[in-house]
Chains A and B, each alone.
Chain A
Amino acid sequence: MSATFGPVQQAYLLEARQMQALSFAVHIPLVCFGIAFPAMVLRAEWLWMRTGDELYRVLAQRWTKVMVALFACGVVTGTILSFEMGLLWPGFMGTFGAVFGLGFALEGFSFFVEAIFIGIYVYGWNRMSPRAHFASGFPIVAAGMTGSLFVLAVNSWMNDPGGFTLRDGVVTDVRPLRALFGNGHLGYELVHMYLAGFIVTGFLVSAAYAVGRLRGHWGRYERIALTIPLTVAALAAPVQLLVGDWAAREVAKTQPTKLAALEGVGHTERGAALHLGGWYRDGHVEFGIPIPKGLSLLAFHDPDAEVQGLDAVAAADRPPVNVVRIAFQVMVSIGTFLAALSAWYLFARTRRRRVPSGRWFYRLLVLAGPASLVALISGWVTTEVGRQPWVVYQVMRTTEAVTAADGIPVGYATMAAFYACLVVAVAWILRRLAHAPMAAGAEPEPEHRPAGS
């Protein structure tokens, strides 16, 4: 059988990529909450079971409402992403579906477990024995972990493809397990993203309570609601710096062109400098602050190591340098800021045995919430745009993957309008739930009609 799919004429490839990126950018913050928030809700519920203190139950139930609303949005945005895989990239799906598809098949079961137990957990509040209810939350946490594993197995395969032989556009000798779980990128991508889930969720939730504190809403409830997510995020953020460093060294080894784009290295050189800030033009970083030999040292642990430049590959095989580089620098800067803020918090907690008391800490924490989201999206821009022009790294170009169908701009505009409404709806929901009177927090379903009424 010969290849059914090949390069096509598609005037709107960039729009197709932007549409996919937009869908992803809307979905991925919801994924973070899917990964991390159930564990935080369970933590509060566990404290209720252990102490019998109603405050924890109120907290867990109020958070449950947030969790289920965000999960519902995550379900539908995730569905759109899976539709778009086929709608926008039939060449990719038709050629490589057999190689990586198994990862999504496995993810499908994680998704099932998550959806089923979210239903049980949410509607089981005050309707099941507390122990059974608490136990019903664990599969959600486990499914968040396995779901990340399977999805990232696919993404890491796209960056480090193996487990198949391509002959005349048709894959043969397919080994899906080797492709998904034997590629070199899965380890750091998984750890990096899983931590990001806890960092983004932790900083966003605690930022909401930091806003309240700056406005004078501060009591025992608010303090506990702030510390549960912030403690997790503050422990994860310093670890993330180390994992990020590990990731960058792996990229240096296996995707030298991506590294060259991240750092704006135009020409292959020994003892390459690291540039902070600036703008890449004509093979050099302009207006950046250079750290001599910094890049060689960081990426290869050798101040005189050779760093491959963008000129090692044809111009058509290079990613858009400034997009990738700026995204990377934004991610690293925010990551460093979050780690520093975390160190402040951890110091106060361990040395002074209390949460920080200065207003500035809370002002920075308010900033840290949205900043963590920006870092998350910048990180994905770094790795995904850094992979360009390849959909499967050095195997298939996005021009070979894209649909031949017309009307991409219309689909893009429609989807963007729907996503804008979705974002507004989520903002409205969160605001509403935050402002719900405390007493309502003790009722899981304020609108619930008692049976027989």
Chain B
Amino acid sequence: MLGIGLPELPLFFALQGVALYAVLAGADFGAGIWQLLAGRGEQARRIREHAHHSMAPVWEANHVWLIFVLVVVWTGYPVAFASMASTLAVALTAAGLGIILRGVAYALRSASRGPAEARAIDTLTAVGSLLAPFALAAAAGAIASRRVPVGNAAGDLWSSWLNPTSLMAGVLALLSSAYLAAVYLAADARREGDAEMAEAFRSRALVTGSLAGVAAIAGAVVVRADARWIFDRLVDTPAVLSVGLSLLAGAATIALVVRRRLDAARVSAAVAVAAVVGGWALAQSPLLLPGLTVREAAAPDNVMALLVISILAGGLILFPSLALLFRLVLRGSFDAEQVLAPGAPVPGPTQGIAAALTATRIAGACFVVGATLLVLGDSAWPHAAGVAALAAFVVLGLSALAGEDSRE
């Protein structure tokens, strides 16, 4: 049933990446949706600002989960990846365009002046935030409803992702993104002591949470009619446990938001969304694509072992870094600016003209040695030594020229 061996392990990690992307980047996209729905006027401006400032430090890191999923799948399950990407070309292009809009909007924001420009830019963010999660979830719906066959663009470019199941998945993704964002933004506003924003997003969380629940039930009806195979497996063990967990966590979140326990709601909202991904994976297991099991799709064992080792080693760097970023954000370290003195000047090497001249000469000598080795050397070792000498030239050169010129 849940046999996770080496051939399944990278997919297991990739699915965790999907869940994290849905939860974290989903909230970013949701914030963009709230910017679109903010309307006009002073309160709308504050909603848009709050949504922007809450997400700006973390959106790039959140976005990388998508890249993580792509690279793990294409390394571990190349045939499946190529089949998905080629059939879902239109959906993925749409998602890509949405992602461009979002990234460029963040860049534009850093140079914008005044509320009118910010509003125009936030509209770009919002279009991207609607397009990307919808298209990505529709692509997931295409895989779940068995519309992506194995082969080079073997499925239909349009109906694979524009069908009842995909549309339902897309709508659900938009609602759950908006819902996650509302919960997070309410909690962030409360941390910043902004009661008005906290209330504004709290009521938004209640509305979208309820809508997402309704959409999930409607979605079940649609999927039953459109993709009976996956529906039957979703309501059977083990997938049904995960689906049930999602419903429970969703209901719990609404209860927590009602009671204004926003930090606990943050966690349960994330569980509600992540459990959907888990349910889908369990329902589809062991098939990755129609007629192709995960095990059949897997790259050779030694590749999978290297991939798993890389993911674990990368995780050792990644998770402490992410923890640092989120701790700083969630503690509010980035909220208030304080002007800090640099402290006592660090005594650096005070460089006289004579020292600079020596450094210049040694740098020149390194250049000559490096050039000789690189040009006349005929194998890897002289070349490596030459590169090292030239690197020394650059470093020594930088130190020789470090002094600020006092005259012009």
- Residues of A in contact with B (beta carbons under 8 Å apart): 1, 4-5, 8, 48-52, 57, 65, 68-73, 75-80, 82-83, 85-87, 90-91, 93-99, 101-102, 104-109, 111-113, 115-120, 122-124, 126-131, 139, 172, 174-177, 187-188, 191, 223-224, 227, 231-232, 235-236, 238-239, 242-243, 245-246, 301, 346, 349-350, 353-355, 357, 403-407, 411, 414-415, 418, 421-422, 425-426, 428-429, 432-433, 436, 444-452
Bits for B147-172, please: 1 = Cβ < 8 Å to A, else 0: 00011111001000000000000000
Contact A51 B345 (CB under 8 A): yes
Interface membership of B63, Cβ < 8 A: yes
Number of A-B contacts (CB under 8 A): 358
Contact B375 A126 (CB under 8 A): no
User: Which residues from A are CB-within-8-Å of B83?
Assistant: 4, 90, 94
* Contact (A120, B328) CB under 8 Å given A98-B300, A113-B318, A243-B374: yes
Contact B338 A126 (CB under 8 A): yes
Contact A425 B397 (CB under 8 A): no
State the Cβ distance, A404 to closest chain B Cβ, in Å.
Answer: 4
Given contacts A93-B82, A101-B75, A120-B324, 20 further A-B contacts (CB under 8 A): A4-B79, A5-B82, A65-B111, A69-B111, A72-B104, A80-B99, A86-B86, A90-B153, A94-B83, A105-B71, A105-B72, A105-B310, A108-B68, A119-B58, A130-B343, A139-B321, A172-B300, A231-B397, A350-B401, A429-B107
- Give the 4 A-B CB pairs with smallest separation, nearest first: A86-B85, A101-B75, A97-B78, A94-B82
User: Which residues from B are CB-within-8-Å of A411?
Assistant: 89, 93
Contact B334 A73 (CB under 8 A): no
Contact A76 B103 (CB under 8 A): yes
Q: Closest B residue to A353 by CB, please name it.
A: B405
B100 contact from A65, A97, A346, A418, Cβ within 8 A: A418
Complex Cα–Cα for A266 and B82 (A): 38
Interface of chain B, helix or strand or loop or mixed? helix
Complex Cα–Cα for A31 and B262 (A): 39
Q: Closest A residue to B56 by CB, please name it.
A: A123
User: Which residues from A are CB-within-8-Å of B57?
Assistant: 119-120, 122-123
Complex Cα–Cα for A22 and B254 (A): 47
Contact B111 A104 (CB under 8 A): no
Contact A98 B299 (CB under 8 A): yes
Bits for B91-116, please: 1 = Cβ < 8 Å to A, else 0: 01101110110111011111111000
* Contact (A76, B53) CB under 8 Å given A93-B74, A446-B113: no
* Contact (A123, B71) CB under 8 Å given A418-B100, A449-B53, A451-B194: no
* Contact (A429, B111) CB under 8 Å given A4-B150, A96-B78: yes
B338 contact from A70, A127, A407, A432, Cβ within 8 A: A127
State the Cβ distance, A164 to closest chain B Cβ, in Å.
Answer: 10
A-B contact pairs, 15 of them (CB 8 A): A4-B79, A73-B103, A77-B100, A83-B96, A87-B86, A87-B93, A91-B152, A102-B306, A109-B314, A129-B340, A172-B300, A174-B303, A242-B370, A404-B153, A432-B111
Q: Closest B residue to A250 by CB, please name it.
A: B383
Contact A102 B82 (CB under 8 A): no
Contact B299 A97 (CB under 8 A): yes
Interface membership of B342, Cβ < 8 A: yes
Interface membership of B70, Cβ < 8 A: yes
State the Cβ distance, B310 to closest chain A Cβ, in Å.
Answer: 5
* Contact (A57, B404) CB under 8 Å given A1-B296, A94-B82, A235-B393: no
Contact A93 B334 (CB under 8 A): no
Contact B85 A107 (CB under 8 A): no
Complex Cα–Cα for A122 and B400 (A): 30
Contact A52 B63 (CB under 8 A): no
Contact B75 A50 (CB under 8 A): no
Contact B328 A115 (CB under 8 A): no
State the Cβ distance, A200 to closest chain B Cβ, in Å.
Answer: 16
Interface membership of B81, Cβ < 8 A: yes
Interface membership of B67, Cβ < 8 A: yes
Q: Closest B residue to A95 by CB, please name it.
A: B78
User: Which residues from B are CB-within-8-Å of A49?
Assistant: 342-343, 345-346
State the Cβ distance, B104 to closest chain A Cβ, in Å.
Answer: 5
User: Which residues from B are CB-within-8-Å of A108?
Assistant: 64, 67-68, 71-72, 314
* Contact (A112, B337) CB under 8 Å given A70-B107, A98-B303: no
